[in-house]
Amino acid sequence: MQSEAIWIIDEDQDDRELVRQAWEELKLSNELRFLDNAADVVQQLNHADLAPFIIICSANLAGTDGFELRQMMLDHESPKFHSVPFIFWSTQASDAQIKRAYNLSVHGFFIKDDSFEELKKTFTLIINYWMKSKMPVVES
């Protein structure tokens, strides 16, 4: 599971490009998959043989926001929706949003970094943490 793709759910093209550049510089081996919205995520999970390694999601998605997406995943009967580390990544967050996120059993809430070097440090910390963590095998 730890070798599976990392999904980034964010419609901001500038952020996607920064993440892609950071990924290349860090030489991370996991495939990086970008998805635009909650519907794309649910469709991908419904048809994927293997769950992603980590989902990093913008809290403020158009349409169904990241909070609603997380709730949909928790409500889904498939176990592959439940055990994937789900992390919010947002430009800003209120205390109420952070509390709401943790009430939805997210695994982290990060504010988008102001510098490229800090972005790389944040992704390194997230990936290294989950590489060390033991996770259940998720079957389709």
What would the two tokens of residue 15 be?
A: 């952020």
Q: Does a structural domain hold residue 140?
A: no
Six-digit token pair at 86? 């789900």
Q: State pTM to two decimals.
A: 0.91
Answer yes or no: is 115 within a domain. yes
- Report, as an integer, the average pLDDT of 124-130: 93
Instruction: Judge whether 138 lies within some domain.
Output: no
Residue 48 · residue 74 · CB < 8 Å: no
Residue 96: which domain range? Answer: 6-132
24-76 confidence digits (pLDDT tens): 999 998 999 999 999 998 888 888 878 899 999 999 998 999 999 999 989 88
pLDDT confidence tier of residue 139, bands split at 50, 70 and 90 = low
Q: What is the CATH number of the domain that holds 15?
A: 3.40.50.2300
The total number of structural domains that make up the chain: 1
Domain assignment present for residue 1? The answer is no
Quickly count: other Cβ atoms within 10 Å of residue 128's Cβ: 10
Q: What is the pLDDT of residue 24?
A: 95
